[in-house]
Amino acid sequence: MSQQDLAVVILAAGKGTRMKSNLHKVLHPLGGRPMLHHLLDTLEQLHPSRKVIVVGAGKEQVQQSVGDQAETITQEPQLGTGHAVQVTGDQLRGFEGDVLILYGDVPLLSAETLENLIRVRRGANDPAVVVLGFEPKDTKAYGRLVVNDQGILEAIVEHKDATSAQREIGLCNSGIMAVNGAVMFDLLDQLDDNNAAGEFYLTDIVGIAKSKGYECAVSVADEAEVIGINSRSELAEAEAAFQQACRHSFMAAGVTLLAPETVHFSYDTVIGRDVVIEPNVFFGPGVVIEDDVTVKGFSHFEGAIVRTGATVGPYARLRPKADVGRNAKIGNFVEVKKSVIGEGAKVSHLSYIGDAVIGAHANIGAGTITCNYDGYNKALTEIGKGAFIGSNTALVAPVKIGDGAIVGAGSVVTREVESDALAVTRANQKEIGGWAAKFRSKQTKK
Q: What is the pLDDT of residues 165-195, one digit of tens each?
A: 999 999 999 999 999 999 999 999 999 998 8
- Every domain of the chain with CATH number 2.160.10.10 lies at 246-423
Task: Check whether 377 is labelled as a binding-site residue.
Answer: no
The residues, ordered by sequence, that sit 6+ positions from 80 with a Cβ below 8 Å of its Cβ are 193, 197, 199, 200, 201, 202
DSSP code for 64: H
CA distances from 211 to 62, 93, 204, 219, 262 (A): 37, 21, 11, 21, 53
Q: According to the 3-state scheme, what is the secondary structure of 358-410?
A: ECCCCEECCCCEEECECCCCECCEEECCCCEECCCCEEECCEEECCCCEECCC
Specify the pLDDT at position 221. 96
Q: What is the pLDDT of residues 301-317, one digit of tens each?
A: 999 999 999 999 999 99
Tell whether 123 is in a known binding site: no
11 appears as a binding residue in the annotation: yes
426 is in an annotated binding site: yes
Residue type, 407: V
18 is in an annotated binding site: no
Is 372 annotated to bind a ligand? Reply is yes
Lowest mean per-residue pLDDT among 11-15, 51-55, 125-129, 173-177: 11-15
Angle at 388 between CA 387 and CA 392, to 5 degrees: 140
Q: Which residue type sits at 300?
A: H
Q: How far is 98 from 92, CA to CA, in rounded Å? A: 10
Q: How far apart are CA 113 and CA 117, in angstroms?
A: 6
What are the helix (H) ranges across 58-143? 59-66, 81-86, 89-92, 111-121
> Is residue 88 over pLDDT 90?
yes
- Residue 52's DSSP bridge partners are 9, 71
Reference 11, options 61, 74, 65; nearest CA is 74
**8 A C-beta contact, residue 120 and residue 156:** no
CA distance 87 to 102: 15
pLDDT in tens, 240-294: 999 999 999 999 999 999 999 999 999 999 999 999 999 999 999 999 999 999 9
List pLDDT tens digits, range 369-412: 999 999 999 999 999 999 999 999 999 999 999 999 999 999 99
3-class DSSP state of 418: coil
**3-state DSSP call for residue 76?**
coil
How many whole angstroms separate alpha carbon 393 and alpha carbon 351? 10
The answer to whether 198 is a known ligand-binding residue is no
Active site residue 37: no
Average pLDDT over residues 12-21: 90
More confident residue, 196 or 271: 271
Q: How many CB atoms lie within 10 A of CB 1?
A: 11
Contacts (Cβ under 8 Å, ≥6 apart) of 256? 274, 275, 276, 277
Q: Which residues does residue 99 pair with via DSSP β-bridges, in sequence order?
A: 7, 179
CA distance 414 to 423: 11
Closest CA to 136 of 15, 209, 227: 227
Single-letter amino acid, residue 29: P
| Cα–Cα distance measured from residue 352 to residue 266, given in angstroms and rounded to the nearest whole number | 25
Q: How confident is the model at residue 58 (pLDDT cuts 50, 70, 90)?
A: confident
Output the pLDDT for position 415. Answer: 97
What size, in residues, is the chain? 446
CB atoms within 10 A of CB 111: 13
Question: What is the predicted pLDDT for the residue at 4?
Answer: 57
Q: Which of 83, 300, 349, 361 is catalytic?
A: 349
Q: Tell me phi and psi for residue 30, to 5 degrees.
A: -130, 115
Q: Where in the chain is the domain with CATH 3.90.550.10?
A: 6-226
Share the mean pLDDT of the chain: 95
What was the pLDDT predicted at 14?
84
- Identify the pLDDT of residue 2: 47
CA 192 to chain centre: 39
The verdict on whether residue 319 carries a ligand-binding annotation is: yes
Strand stretches in 181-279, DSSP E: 216-221, 256-257, 270-271, 276-277
> Binding residue per annotation — 315?
no
Q: What is the pLDDT of residues 126-165, one digit of tens each?
A: 999 999 999 999 998 899 999 998 889 999 998 888 899 9
- Round to whole Å and give the CA distance between 363 and 199: 69
Does the annotation place 385 within a ligand binding site? no
Residue 249 gets the label, from left (phi > 0), alpha (psi -120 to 50) or beta, of alpha
What are the angstrom distances between the C-alpha of 345 and each of 180, 250, 295, 298, 338? 61, 28, 16, 22, 16
Out of 3.40.220.10, 3.40.50.150, 3.40.50.9100, 2.160.10.10, select the CATH number for domain 246-423. 2.160.10.10
The model's confidence at residue 117, banded by pLDDT at 50, 70 and 90, is very high
CATH 3.90.550.10 fits 6-226, yes or no: yes
The residues that bridge with 102 in the sheet, in sequence order, are 10
230 annotated as ligand-binding: yes
- Find out whether 14 is annotated in a ligand binding site: yes
